[in-house]
């Protein structure tokens, strides 16, 4: 960010603190990409290539996890089109089946990607779901399917500030170039994700 911008920018516009927060947001998106790339390696798969996602696909996924003795409660991460197709399929279902949409309090706690709960399973929407052959590949998994490790570079960065919410590993440092009057924010964090037990998860492949 240039000195001229900091002088002429109105209150509430981009500043160094906001740039640091953008680094934390970028880390969150990167983390989601890693999770879904790892989920894509799960062995089991349900759904029909070239067909919209339906309630039947959902039940096939939960049945697969239950037969594998996966530990619940389950979590599903679906592409946006899969979420809308599932909701459309739900409208044609009868009986006591219901989808519980996210409340304002839940969105504040879990983030804008949270969609709600269906039959006790939390649903998240993400465009990080893999695209393959005209299909989108979502996933449903139980506890112990995926794992991650993360670390902060704070100890090696004197004067760094926390760039994210409490508990986030992202720390930012400010780099100043007096000529030509440019300030930069560099955010640091380390993260990796891996598949712990493939039987505890299932991919859901449906039309994109």
Q: Where does the chain show beta strands of DSSP type E? A: 45-46, 71-78, 99-101, 114-118, 121-125, 130-132, 135-143, 146-151, 161-162, 171-177, 182-188, 190-195, 201-207
Which of 8-22, 104-118, 174-188 has the lowest average pLDDT?
Answer: 8-22
Phi, psi of 173 (to 5 degrees): -125, 155
What band does 9 get if pLDDT is binned at 50, 70 and 90?
low
pTM: 0.81
Q: Give the tens place of pLDDT for each residue, 147-172.
A: 999 988 777 777 777 877 777 888 88
Number of domains in the chain: 1
Q: Report the interhelical angle of 55-67 vs 80-91 (nearest 10°).
A: 110
What band does 80 get if pLDDT is binned at 50, 70 and 90?
very high
What band does 11 get if pLDDT is binned at 50, 70 and 90?
low
Looking at residue 94, its pLDDT comes to: 62
Q: Which domain holds residue 81?
A: 3-207
Residue 194's region, left for phi above 0, alpha for psi from -120 to 50, else beta, is beta
């Amino acid at each position: 960010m240039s000195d001229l911008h900091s002088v002429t920018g109105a209150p509430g516009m981009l500043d160094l603190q906001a740039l640091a927060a953008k680094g934390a947001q970028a880390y969150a998106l990167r983390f989601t990409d890693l999770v879904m790339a790892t989920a894509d390696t799960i062995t089991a798969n349900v759904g029909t290539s070239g067909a919209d996602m339906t309630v039947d696909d959902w039940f096939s996924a939960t049945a697969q996890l239950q037969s594998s003795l996966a530990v619940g409660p389950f979590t599903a991460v679906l592409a946006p089109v899969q979420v809308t197709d599932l909701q459309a399929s739900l409208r044609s279902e009868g009986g006591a089946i219901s989808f519980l949409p996210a409340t304002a309090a839940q969105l504040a706690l879990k983030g804008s990607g949270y969609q709600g709960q269906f039959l006790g399973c939390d649903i998240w929407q993400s465009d990080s779901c893999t695209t393959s052959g005209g299909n989108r590949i979502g996933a449903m998994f139980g506890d112990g399917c995926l794992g991650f490790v993360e670390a902060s570079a704070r100890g090696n960065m004197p004067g760094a500030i926390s760039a994210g919410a409490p508990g986030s590993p992202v720390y930012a440092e400010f780099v100043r170039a007096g000529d030509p009057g440019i300030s930069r924010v560099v955010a640091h964090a380390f993260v990796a994700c891996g598949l712990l037990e493939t039987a505890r998860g299932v991919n859901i492949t449906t039309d994109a």
